[in-house]
Amino acid sequence: MGTKKKILIVDDEPFFREILKDIFNEQFDIIEAEDGDEAVSLSHQHLPDLIIMDVEMPRKNGIEACKILKNEIKTRKIPIILFTARTKKKDMVLGLKAGADDYITKPVYIPEIIARVEAHLRTKDHYSDLEYKDLRFLLEVTENISAIRNPMAILRLIVEKMEEIIDVARCSIISINDKGETIVKASNDLGWHEELILDLSKYPEIQKSFESKQAVIINDIKNDPLMDTVREQTKNLGYNSIIVIPVVKKESVIGTFFLRTVSPIKDGITDRVYKLCQLIANISANALENAILFESVQEAQEYFEEISIRDGLTSLYNHRHFYDRLEEEFSRASRYGSPLSLVFFDIDNFKRINDLYGHTRGDQILKKIGQLIKSVARESDIPARYGGEEFAIILPNTAKEGAFDLANRMHSIIRNHKFENLPDEQITISSGVSTLVNKNVQSFNELVHLADNGMYTAKHQGKDKVLQA
């Protein structure tokens, strides 16, 4: 028996590391790290075959560690899978730019993790049983679909080419949409624009693949226990084997798709057929992703531009964009002699909330406060998450009376809001307000300093109040 491959698991949460250890401990040697610094050090020491790393960690985060490892000759070829919260789309983009080979969003789905790890650790001879004609077929399919931008044309090409290379009675691409409907999007026995809605209860193999996100292979349709519920419908069918492979890569982009092939092959689905179908499913995923993104390239560009200036948790503007806009508004107000106000506020006793109820509940509060700020802010206002539990609102063309009024309304709305799952807690804020008028403030940094001072003075005077600089 050969030496086990090594996986380095990097996460500051011991519970999450334990979950991954339970999954992979028997098959691999597991190395653990708690942060990015330790990940870099242990990677140099052990040269693992794969690194699974969380993005959000204390000290050096996963993106920073990834960038270091991918820039060093000794470690650059080690595959890195990053984990990030589903809402942190910006982290996904930054992680891939830093050199990560893959990402998975939390909360994680165990079969998906297993599939990704297996894909990155496959040996060079994994596909050695593919035939020469299979390799030519894969090359031809890849070349053909690389020039196609129509998702439906890609699906049609896949099912037609599969019929040429494998002895199949039917090859289909099936989708389960947001309504839960199971639809045959393309099949070698359907017309070009035809679609067929299926009753999922009559296709237990699709249902099982949908639930497990793993391939399902039936080598004897008439006797396999999975087919017991549809035995009457299948007893006279002229085929013997079924393989269903989920197209799960980048599911958030392309949706839920399955490659389903039914065949009269009496010996069942061989390793060759399975691996060929798996490769076609992967090619389909990549092609569909590219086609769908190409169809909405402008929308995608605008989307990435937008998330680059937004805070991932609250959807308010982030710290960097706050300063960009404040500098612009300060310059405009100074030039035209118009007033400009700034409101800073901080959640009172937020550390106690985090310590008492956990960071997940704390994040829920931050997210809700972001929504409350949006409900109060005018269209011309610029609300931002300044950092941690601190928020700011830029108020163009607003004198100190208007700013003070808005700050008090914000204070009252948050104070009176009943936060979900916190029935016995009252959340309050301390606010500071500053205003540029008649050139009383010399720079936008001074405007920030004044509002910030007002906020901290409110804190020191007992919290739960608004003070004007």
Residue 320: Cβ within 10 Å count = 11
**How far is residue 114's CA from residue 21's CA, in Å, rounded to a whole number?**
12
- 389 is known as an active-site residue: yes
For the chain, report the end-to-end CA distance as a whole number of angstroms. Answer: 73
Which token pair is 92? Answer: 């996904």
Question: Is the Cβ–Cβ distance between 173 and 164 less than 8 Å?
Answer: no
Q: Which run of H or E residues covers position 247?
A: strand 241-247
DSSP state string for 137-183:
HHHHHHHHHHT---HHHHHHHHHHHHHHHS--SEEEEEEE-TT--EE
Which token pair is 53? Answer: 């790393």
The catalytic position among 13, 18, 389, 420 is 389
**How far is residue 340's CA from residue 16's CA, in Å, rounded to a whole number?**
47
Q: Under 8 Å CB-to-CB from 305, ≥6 apart: which residues?
A: none
- 3-state DSSP call for residue 250? coil
Name the residue with tokens 């400009």: 340
Closest residue by Cα to residue 397 from 317, 320, 342, 318: 342
Report the catalytic residues.
389
